[in-house]
Amino acid sequence: MHRQRYSSAVIKNFLARQTATKNLLATNDAVTKNKAYCDVFINHRGIDTKRTLATLLYDRLSRQKLKPFLDNKNMKPGDKLFDHIDNAIRNCKVGIAVFSPNYCKSYFCLHELALFAESKKKVIPIFCDVKPSQLSVTDNGNVPEKDLLRFESALEEAKCTVGLTFDSLE
C-alpha cells in the first residue's frame, strides 16, 4: 500500500510539472502534422520498469489527454523497430527517461537517450531504484566507438538534469 501511495506521489509531482510543459508541447504542433507522433516518449528498460512505472506513467499521461509512446502499447507486429521508435522520438514533444539498474546494459535504451539529445528534445529523468552517480556506459566490446561516445554524452547530460526519484522498495 505504501508503495502504491509513493508511486502516486511521484506521478502527481510529474503531472504537476506537465502543466508547465504544455506550452512546450503546443509549440511543436506544426512539426508533427501528418506524422505519427506522441506528446511524451517513455524511454525505459523493460525488464526493470515496463510492468510497473513505465505502464503507470503511460496510463496516467493518457488520462491527462496526452499521447504517450510506450513500445508495447504503440507498436504492433511487423513494425520496423528502429524506424518506428526513431520516428516517435524525433517527432515527440518531450521525453521521459526512466533510469533503472539495468538501463545502461541496453543498447536500445542508450540509443534512444542519445537520439533525444541529438534531436534537442527536453528530457525529464526519473531515477528508479538507482542514483545518477551509479549510471555509466560500459564497453563490452560490442558497441562501436562512435556509439559509445554518443551514449556517454547523452547519459552525462541526463545525469545533470533535475529529475524525479522513485524507490520501488519503499
Show which residues are catalytic: 112
Spatial separation of the C-alpha atoms in residues 89 and 91, rounded to whole Å? 5
Spatial separation of the C-alpha atoms in residues 76 and 21, rounded to whole Å? 29
- What nine digits make up the cell of 30? 506544426
Spatial separation of the C-alpha atoms in residues 125 and 121, rounded to whole Å? 12
Number of neighbours of residue 166 by Cβ within 10 angstroms: 24
Nearest alpha-carbon partner for 127 in 100, 147, 157: 100
Spatial separation of the C-alpha atoms in residues 8 and 115, rounded to whole Å? 29
Strand positions, DSSP E, the chain? 40-44, 68-69, 94-99, 123-128, 164-166
